[in-house]
């Protein structure tokens, strides 16, 4: 019986240093992959928020220009003021107009460009008619 217990102790060795290092390395790789996934999801959310906000601004600015008085031979229109809301910080709007005929016969191509932090996000085009 003593020989059986002695043999059992020899077979039940502890975890070696190499096995521990391999397990820690595998956990490290999994942790890095998980953190990269979280970072990618966060960045995608930010880009989506930026795009959605820019689209909303562009559509409201286009409506603003359509409802504004028609200006013959206009090359720009003043944008509507953006709300004093933190969601609209660092967004800029440029509205250009281009008469489709020369001289201006009452039809202009309107382009609304929305940028965020100096980077163009969206450009929306439509037409404005003289009433």
Domain positions in the chain are: 2-129
The number of angstroms, rounded, from the C-alpha of 48 to the middle of its chain's C-alpha atoms is: 4
Express each pLDDT in 47-77 by its tens digit.
999 999 999 999 999 999 999 999 999 999 9
Bond from prior residue into 3 cis (ω within 30 degrees of 0):
no
Residue 76: beta bridge partners? 96
Intervals of the chain under pLDDT 70: 1-13
Supply the pTM of this predicted model.
Answer: 0.75
């Amino acid at each position: 019986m003593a020989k059986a217990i002695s043999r059992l102790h020899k077979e039940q060795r502890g975890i070696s240093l190499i096995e521990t290092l391999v397990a820690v390395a595998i956990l490290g790789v999994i942790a890095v992959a998980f953190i990269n996934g979280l970072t990618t999801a966060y960045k995608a959310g930010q880009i989506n928020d930026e795009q959605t906000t820019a689209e909303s601004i562009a559509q409201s600015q286009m409506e603003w220009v359509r409802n504004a008085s028609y200006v013959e031979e206009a090359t720009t229109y003043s944008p509507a003021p953006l709300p004093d809301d933190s969601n609209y910080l660092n967004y800029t709007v440029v509205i250009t107009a281009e008469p489709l005929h020369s001289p201006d016969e009452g039809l202009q191509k309107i382009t609304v460009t929305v940028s965020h932090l100096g980077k163009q996000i969206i450009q929306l085009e439509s037409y404005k008619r003289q009433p």
